[in-house]
């Protein structure tokens, strides 16, 4: 079969990086979120927006290009990271690509995400592929190490070749409304990143209210974040559509006020193709098709790719393959 799919795996035009802006506490204090209204809107996404057949296959191929293929386990090894990078180079089996008849498309994940200890291993394993390495840093997942240690982690990851740094904010700063402290830390992290893009992990499941999530999102964007990200994947509550809607609407408001487009990364618990399609539909409806690009939207996921492969094979053959036919690591 042959799919009509536009190759959007790379930005279509140069993307202006967020330079950061002065902290505007008046703007922060104006932020309010109505949780009930957010919940009603979020519930409508999966019920109203579905794609079927060839369209679904095309969306799933797009979803692969939006994945930060991730391993963040306590028992990670160089060998596991190397196998993950091998999977990143060839995310779909060759027979599936042959069936799809899309030889000219660049179907590769947006990045490979690892602990900073494994950055050099991943950079070497991905050499020549064009796939960037993202490193979690700043005392991941809690973000409570001394500031000097967290800054040093960023510098070491960048020195080893990380092109993206996923930093963790101190959730306590949000809970006590210490917006100046949060702003100053994220500015310091941004400076330490240099040319590497910075994704700020909010740990939204621990921020108590959607208004707190919205305010934290805004402060991080003012401080120069290139992406805002929901979770470390280690919290009890990780990414969900309600919180995503809160963060996406702050991104839209920030873009309207500053002209700067900020990326969004839901992470933690996104393992089904259906969930990925719901998030993509939400992004398309709230921010537009232009945000469905790797430089503006990523999934933080470790097992999502396996389910996408199974769904694509089902769409082609009518049968679900066993998981072992799409081994990850």
Per residue in 256-300, pLDDT (tens digit) is 999 999 999 999 999 999 999 999 999 999 999 999 999 999 999
pLDDT computed for residue 69 by the predictor: 97
Residue 11 pLDDT level (bands cut at 50, 70, 90): very low
pLDDT computed for residue 311 by the predictor: 92
pLDDT computed for residue 15 by the predictor: 80
Q: How many CB atoms lie within 10 A of CB 94?
A: 8
pLDDT computed for residue 329 by the predictor: 56
CATH tag for 25-44+52-317 (out of 3.40.50.1360, 3.20.20.70, 3.40.50.1370, 3.30.365.10): 3.20.20.70
pLDDT computed for residue 87 by the predictor: 96
Report H helices in 259-318. 273-287, 304-317
Cross-strand pairs, 201:
168, 229
Res. 6: pLDDT tops 80: no
Query: Whose structure tokens read 């947006």?
Result: 110
Evaluate whether 241 touches 9 at the Cβ level (below 8 Å): no
Question: Is 229 one of the annotated active-site residues of the chain?
Answer: yes
Region 68-82: mean pLDDT is: 97
Percent of the chain with pLDDT over 90: 82
Region 248-260: mean pLDDT is: 98
Percent of the chain with pLDDT over 70: 93
pLDDT computed for residue 111 by the predictor: 98
The active-site residue, picked from 199, 215, 265, 275, is 265
Region 6-24: mean pLDDT is: 72
Distance of CA 325 to CAs 31, 96, 304, 328, Å?
48, 11, 15, 9
pLDDT computed for residue 322 by the predictor: 74
Evaluate whether 168 touches 140 at the Cβ level (below 8 Å): yes
E strand intervals along the chain: 67-70, 111-115, 133-136, 164-168, 197-201, 227-229, 263-265, 299-301
Please report how many Cα atoms fall inside a 13 Å half-sphere around the Cα of residue 151, on the Cβ side: 13
Per residue in 34-58, pLDDT (tens digit) is 999 999 999 998 776 678 888 999 9
pLDDT computed for residue 262 by the predictor: 98
Question: Is 166 one of the annotated active-site residues of the chain?
Answer: yes
Q: Where are the domains of the chain?
A: 25-44+52-317
Non-local (6+) Cβ contacts of 164 within 8 A are 111, 113, 132, 133, 134, 135, 196, 197, 198, 199
The active-site residue, picked from 68, 87, 160, 166, is 166
The active-site residue, picked from 87, 229, 275, 307, is 229
Average pLDDT, the chain: 92
Non-local (6+) Cβ contacts of 251 within 8 A are 217, 221, 228, 261, 262, 264, 287
pLDDT: is 321 or 81 the higher one? 81
Per residue in 108-165, pLDDT (tens digit) is 999 999 999 999 999 999 999 999 999 999 999 999 999 999 999 999 999 999 999 9
Per residue in 163-189, pLDDT (tens digit) is 999 999 999 999 999 999 999 999 999
Region 19-24: mean pLDDT is: 98
Q: Is the pTM for the entire model greater than 0.85?
A: yes
Q: What are phi and psi of 117, to 5 degrees?
A: -60, -25
């Amino acid at each position: 079969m042959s799919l009509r799919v536009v190759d959007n795996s790379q930005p279509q035009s140069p993307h202006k990086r967020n330079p950061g802006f002065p902290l505007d506490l008046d703007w922060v204090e104006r932020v309010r979120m109505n949780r009930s209204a957010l919940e009603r809107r979020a519930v409508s996404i999966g019920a109203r927006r579905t794609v079927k057949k060839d369209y679904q296959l095309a969306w799933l191929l797009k979803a692969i290009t939006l994945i930060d293929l991730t391993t963040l386990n306590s028992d990670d090894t160089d060998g596991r990271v190397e196998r993950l990078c091998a999977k990143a180079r060839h995310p779909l089996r060759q027979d599936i690509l042959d069936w799809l008849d899309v030889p000219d498309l660049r179907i590769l994940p947006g990045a490979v995400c690892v602990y900073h200890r494994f950055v050099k291993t991943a950079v070497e394993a991905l050499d020549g592929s064009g796939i960037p390495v993202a490193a979690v840093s700043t005392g991941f997942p809690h973000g409570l190490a001394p500031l000097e240690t967290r800054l040093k982690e960023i510098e070491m990851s960048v020195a080893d070749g990380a092109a993206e740094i996923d930093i963790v904010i101190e959730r306590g700063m949000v809970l006590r409304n210490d917006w100046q402290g949060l702003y100053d830390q994220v500015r310091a992290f941004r400076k330490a990143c240099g040319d590497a893009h910075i994704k700020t992990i909010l740990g939204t499941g621990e921020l108590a209210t959607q208004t707190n999530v919205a305010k934290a999102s805004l402060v991080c964007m003012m401080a120069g974040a290139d992406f805002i990200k929901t979770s470390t994947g280690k919290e009890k509550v990780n990414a969900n559509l309600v919180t995503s809607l809160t963060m996406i609407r702050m991104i839209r408001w920030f873009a309207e006020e500053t002209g700067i487009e900020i990326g969004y990364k839901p992470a933690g618990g996104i393992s089904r193709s259906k969930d990925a399609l719901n998030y993509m539909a939400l992004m398309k409806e709230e921010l537009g098709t232009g945000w469905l690009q790797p430089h503006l939207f990523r999934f933080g996921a470790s097992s999502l790719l396996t389910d996408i492969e199974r769904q694509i094979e089902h769409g082609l053959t009518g049968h679900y393959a066993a998981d072992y036919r799409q081994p990850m690591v």
